[in-house]
C-alpha cells in the first residue's frame, strides 16, 4: 500500500493534510515550525500535499509556498474552493466566476501557475452542477489545474458531475469512527475509477489516543463544537479508544498507524491525508505504508470502532446541514 494512483499520477498512499498548521485545531504552530514540517515531510518521501483557501484564510497556502514551492516538481499539490467565510458565518459559493477568482487567488498565494488537483470543497445547491464543472474544465484547458475533484458530495451528485466531465478524486471524511462514505460514495468512486481521499483518517486526532479530555484542546478548537467531543459523548468514546489503543499495542503499532492502515485497506483507490503539526507524527504516519498488519487485527479494529459503537454525530446540526454526503 505504498503508492497509489491519484489523478493519473502515482503518489504515496498517505499524504499530508495542511489544515491544522494554520487553522481549526487550537493554537497553530509558529511559521518556522510549519515550514520545517512541510520541508521534512517532503524530504521523507511525502509527495501529496493537500491544502485549501480557507485554511487560515490562505495562510496554509502561503506557508506551503515558503516551505517547498521551489521544489514544485517533486510533489502532487491539491487545494480547494467553495467555502466562504465572513467572520463566524460560513457559506458555500461554487458559481463559475467565484471558482475562477478563487483559483487565481490560490495560485498567487501558492506561487505557482498550476495545481494538480482543485476541489469544490462543498456542494452548492444554488448553482447547476454543469456550470460549476464547466469552470473546472476551462481551468483544465487553461493549464491552471490538472484535474478537478469534489469534497463531501453525495453519490448522485458525484455521478452527475462525472458525467459532465470525469473527475479525478472525491475527498471526504473517512475513518473507523466516521463511515458515511460506506452508504454509497465508497462504491461509487470504486465503480467510476475515482480516487477517494480520506481526510481526518485518525478521527480528528481522537484515534491517536493522546486526547484524554476535551479540555486539552483549547477554547478555539473546532472539535469542541463536535458532539463526539462533548461531555455527553466523550466518556463513551474514550472507553472505545482505550480498547483500541490496547489492540494497537498488541499488534506492535501505534493507534494512528492502525487507524491509517484500516482506512487504506478499504480499497486500492483509497488515499489518506492525516494532518499534523509534529514532525515525529508525520514520520510515524508515513511509516504506516511499510507495515504489515494482520487482516484479523484490521477486522477487529473495525468491529470495535464503527458507526454503531461510536457515541454522537460527527457534526453539530447546523454544520451537518451543509454536508451533501449520505448520512446515517
Residues designated as active site: 55
Please give the Cα distance from 94 to 121 (Å, whole number): 9
Question: Which residues in 255-304 belong to E strands, given as ranges?
Answer: 270-272
In this structure, the strands spanning 16-17 and 48-50 are: parallel
Cα 223 to the chain's mean position, in Å?
Answer: 15
In this structure, the strands spanning 83-86 and 16-17 are: unpaired
Q: Are 82 and 111 in contact (CB under 8 A)?
A: no
Q: Are 41 and 16 in contact (CB under 8 A)?
A: yes
Phi, then psi, of 109 in degrees rounded to 5? -65, -35
| Grid cell for residue 65 | 509556498
In this structure, the strands spanning 270-272 and 195-199 are: parallel
Amino acid at each position: 500500500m505504498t503508492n497509489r494512483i491519484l489523478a493519473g499520477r502515482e503518489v504515496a498512499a498517505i499524504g499530508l493534510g495542511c489544515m491544522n498548521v494554520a487553522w481549526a485545531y487550537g493554537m497553530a504552530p509558529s511559521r518556522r515550525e510549519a515550514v520545517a514540517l512541510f520541508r521534512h515531510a517532503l524530504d521523507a518521501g511525502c509527495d501529496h500535499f493537500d491544502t485549501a483557501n480557507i485554511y487560515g484564510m490562505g495562510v496554509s497556502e502561503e506557508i506551503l509556498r515558503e516551505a517547498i514551492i521551489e521544489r514544485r516538481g517533486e510533489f502532487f499539490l491539491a487545494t480547494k474552493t467553495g467555502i466562504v467565510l465572513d467572520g463566524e458565518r460560513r457559506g458555500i459559493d461554487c458559481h463559475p466566476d467565484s471558482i475562477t477568482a478563487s483559483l487565481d487567488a490560490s495560485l498567487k498565494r501558492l506561487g505557482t501557475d498550476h495545481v494538480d488537483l482543485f476541489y469544490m470543497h462543498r456542494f452548492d445547491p444554488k448553482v447547476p452542477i454543469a456550470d460549476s464543472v464547466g469552470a473546472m474544465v476551462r481551468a483544465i484547458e487553461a493549464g491552471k489545474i490538472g484535474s478537478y475533484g469534489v469534497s463531501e458530495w453525495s453519490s448522485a451528485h458525484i455521478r452527475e458531475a462525472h458525467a459532465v466531465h470525469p473527475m479525478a478524486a472525491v475527498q471526504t471524511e473517512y475513518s473507523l469512527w466516521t463511515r458515511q462514505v460506506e452508504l454509497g460514495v465508497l462504491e461509487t468512486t470504486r465503480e467510476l475509477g475515482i480516487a477517494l481521499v480520506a481526510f481526518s483518517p485518525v478521527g480528528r486526532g481522537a484515534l491517536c489516543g493522546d486526547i484524554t479530555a476535551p479540555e486539552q484542546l483549547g477554547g478555539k478548537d473546532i472539535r469542541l463544537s463536535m458532539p463526539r467531543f462533548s461531555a455527553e459523548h466523550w466518556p463513551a468514546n474514550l472507553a472505545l479508544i482505550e480498547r483500541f489503543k490496547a489492540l494497537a499495542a498488541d499488534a506492535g503499532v501505534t493507534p494512528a498507524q492502525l487507524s491509517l492502515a484500516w482506512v487504506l485497506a478499504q480499497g486500492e483507490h483509497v488515499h489518506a491525508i492525516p494532518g499534523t503539526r509534529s514532525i515525529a507524527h508525520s514520520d510515524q504516519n508515513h511509516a504506516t505504508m511499510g507495515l504489515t498488519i494482520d487482516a484479523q487485527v484490521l477486522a477487529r479494529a473495525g468491529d470495535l470502532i464503527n458507526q454503531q459503537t461510536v457515541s454522537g454525530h460527527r457534526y453539530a446540526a447546523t454544520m451537518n446541514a451543509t454536508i451533501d454526503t449520505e448520512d446515517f
